[in-house]
Amino acid sequence: MTTAKLDATGAAAVEAARAALIDEAPAEDVGEHLGAQAEGDRVVTHLFECTRRGYRGWRWSVTVTRIPRAKQVTVDEVVLIPGEDAIIAPAWVPYRERVQPGDLSAGDLLPVEEDDPRLVPTYSFGDDPLSSDEKTQIRHVAQELYFGRVRTLSVEGRDLAAERWYDGPGGPSSPLAQAAPAMCTSCGFLIQLSGPLAELFGVCANGSANDDGRVVSFDHGCGAHSEATLPKRARPQALPPHVWDTVDDLVEL
Ligand code: SF4
């Protein structure tokens, strides 16, 4: 990449750049000239401090250019840009990407998109144009055949769920699983699923375990495993009788 040479005529046009800037912005918001930089052949950007309240670190940028052999510059653009220490808003993230599990409150609605790739139609109306009555009839038939759901999980939706569960707290890499005496696959509290996800996951049904009611991978585990035992030295010691039966003891004497 070649660096453009700073054009001397453009670099000297500080007052022309300032005049163009004051045409666009209030004069009291324009501060010191901060420097000039080459943008290309005979294209120079002048930077001015922005003194407007709330815009600390922002700079006015005025780009000027000229045709070959001309002594006058013309103004390309005037913009306000953030400097390195400028206060700027964080990058916009659409709300759908910001919503996390646990964010929904009672009464909140979070509809999915019509073309959400995680879902596929359970049944189709085919390609023939149908009236709404005919579509209603098809829906009734589908319900009678137990296709009660209009859409079901797609392969992509299933794979995403499997990845999320496996990499999450119910997977093998959670601290709980790493310190477990045995895996869920050998635990009596594991409820089996059906379908493709059943090859890797089940549901924990141990009311004393952290994962009770949650999906866990077979290679997850925890200290509440049904076959977990305490090491001998950690087992509770048998205590002596807490009452001294003086009556019986005295009779025997
Ligand atoms: S109690 Fe622990 S080991 Fe057993 S299924 Fe639940 S999470 Fe897995």
State whether 135 and 163 are in the same domain: no
Per-residue pLDDT at 249: 62
Name the residue range of residue 224's domain. Answer: 155-229
Q: Which residues contact 29 (CB under 8 A, 6 or more apart)?
A: 50, 51, 52, 55
pLDDT exceeds 70 at position 125: no
State whether 120 and 135 are in the same domain: yes
State whether 165 and 146 are in the same domain: no
| Domain assignment of residue 241, yes or no | no
| Domain assignment of residue 3, yes or no | no
| Domain assignment of residue 240, yes or no | no
Distance 44 CA to ligand 1 centre (A): 67
State whether 171 and 206 are in the same domain: yes
State whether 208 and 148 are in the same domain: no
Mean pLDDT confidence for 137-151: 73
State whether 134 and 182 are in the same domain: no
State whether 148 and 165 are in the same domain: no
pLDDT exceeds 90 at position 126: no
| Domain assignment of residue 90, yes or no | no
177 CB less than 6 Å from ligand 1? no
CB atoms inside a 10 Å sphere around CB 112: 10
State whether 76 and 27 are in the same domain: yes
Q: How many helices (H) does the chain have, and how many strands (E)?
A: 7, 9
CA-CA distance, 187 to 9, in Å (whole number)? Answer: 81
| Domain assignment of residue 213, yes or no | yes
Kindly report the protein residue whose alpha carbon is nearest to atom 4 of ligand 1.
225
- Coil, helix or strand for 215? strand
Of 233, 216, 141, 143, the C-alpha closest to 180 is 216
Pick the last residue of a domain from 96, 129, 153: 153
215 CB less than 6 Å from ligand 1? no
| Domain assignment of residue 191, yes or no | yes
Four-residue CA torsion sign, 201, 207, 212, 217: negative
Pick the last residue of a domain from 28, 59, 82: 82
State whether 164 and 197 are in the same domain: yes
pLDDT in tens, 203-239: 999 999 999 999 999 999 999 999 999 888 877 788 8
Distance 151 CA to ligand 1 centre (A): 32
Kindly report the protein residue whose alpha carbon is nearest to atom 8 of ligand 1.
184
Q: Up-side HSE of residue 34: CA atoms within 13 Å toward CB? A: 15
Confidence of residue 127 (pLDDT cuts 50, 70, 90): low
Distance 42 CA to ligand 1 centre (A): 71
pLDDT in tens, 15-42: 999 999 999 999 999 999 999 999 999 9
Number of structural domains (the chain) is 3
Q: What is the pTM of this model?
A: 0.60
State whether 169 and 148 are in the same domain: no
Whether the Cβ atoms of residue 57 and residue 83 lie closer than 8 Å to each other: yes
| Domain assignment of residue 29, yes or no | yes
| Domain assignment of residue 220, yes or no | yes
Distance 184 CA to ligand 1 centre (A): 5
pLDDT in tens, 48-57: 999 999 999 9
State whether 14 and 64 are in the same domain: yes
In the chain, what percentage of residues exceed pLDDT 70? 92
Distance 118 CA to ligand 1 centre (A): 29
CA-CA distance, 145 to 69, in Å (whole number)? Answer: 83
Atom of ligand 1 nearest to the CA of 205: 6
